[in-house]
Amino acid sequence: MGPLQGVRIVEMSNIGPGPFCGMLLADLGAEVVSVQRLSTGDLGFDIGLRYDLLNRSKQAAAVDLKSPEGVAVVREMIASADMVIEGFRPGVMERLGLGPEVCLADNPRLVYGRMTGWGQDGPLAQMAGHDINYIAMTGALAAIGPKGGAPAVPLNLVGDFAGGSLYLAMGLLAALVEARQSGRGQVVDAAMVDGVASMLTMHLGYRQAKFWNLDRGTNSVDGGSPWYTTYATKDGRWMAVGAVETRFYREFVRILGLDVATLPGQHDHTRWDELRTIFATEFAKKTRDEWELLFEGTDACVSPVLDMDEAPHHRTANARGTFVQRDGLTEPAPAPRFSRTAATIRNSPPDARQTTASTLSAWGIDPARIARLSADGVIAAPDA
């Protein structure tokens, strides 16, 4: 049932990073209830609930948080929970009557996780923002992109999901361990700007050692070097090269059909453009599939660039079980993996309009009270 079996989490539904953090913990066995808007039971996206994979493995309840009765029932659930996950602007939960002071008074062992872009305090705390803004303000965005070109947007992975969700999950689990030792909960303030800055630790060290240039596309692992970049193939597809170490680089050059002795030096920055042109010329002579077969099983650190439709069907993903098929959809399997307490996807994204009553019952809310709340329109009632 996963290593977090028995851990109970109330997640205040929001977009992206908060639900992803909840999904990660739910996949690992935690009992996560997504408290959603009463108006729709979801976030109003038009993709359809079955595709809202960030809510898999969870329970769901739609509650009117503008109603004192709705707030009271959520507060009661939090009183029996181990964790809260919320991703609103600072002060919103306090205005709802569900801030950390109130919840920790009800439940002193509670770990209260807060996800924001800018943090709970500071000059930008109340300003709206998105992944691109957070990575822009930490130095990460300026470092990504081609030489002489504009900064490249790396999806919304770096700020939202890496600097946000993963750091919040780590903080929640660390605080849970401490709470079980001390008997006291605490607030975890996970700001995406802090998480992204933390991920830049190595690069900041390199920069201060004068080993990293501020000019994009001129460094060893930012696409600037000819041995850590991508190359177009004969069929218009791409191969990714990461031949950093000398022995891996030599293997890469050999399989490419070239002789290291006749090429510019691997670390001769003044001739990187020349070396890149030589490699590009060779890659253009064969298709991506042909190059993949040549490099597969070697230490050249060369891989095909797969798109999101291709990746789940690649033989490597199949052998590893990296993706799973459920209810006609392809989903990433839970990660990481455990030798004894295996993680699993327990259910598809629930429809809060149909599951609110059963979810509240599972969290100890009296059935008569549930019926009354439903009749009064405080919680979602199943469609007729």
**How far is the C-alpha of 72 from the C-alpha of 179, rounded, in Å?**
25
Assess whether 130 carries a catalytic annotation. Answer: yes
Nearest to 266 by CA among 281, 280, 248: 248
Name the burial class of residue 231, with classes exposed (0-12), middle (13-18) and buried (19+) by CB atoms within 10 angstroms of its CB: buried
Residue for token digits 């609103």? 88
318-354: burial string, b at 16+ Cβ within 10 Å, e else:
eeeeebeeeeeeeeeebeeeeeeeebebbebbbbbbb
Assess whether 269 carries a catalytic annotation. Answer: no
Which tokens in the block code for residue 98? 């569900």
DSSP for 25-76, written as a single string: HHHTT-EEEEEEETTTSS---TT-GGG-GGGTT-EEEEE-TTSHHHHHHHHH
Which tokens in the block code for residue 99? 């801030």
Catalytic option among 27, 52, 64, 160: 160
Nearest to 25 by CA among 182, 164, 166, 177: 166
Catalytic option among 106, 130, 269, 314: 130
Give catalytic residues, as residue numbers. 130, 160
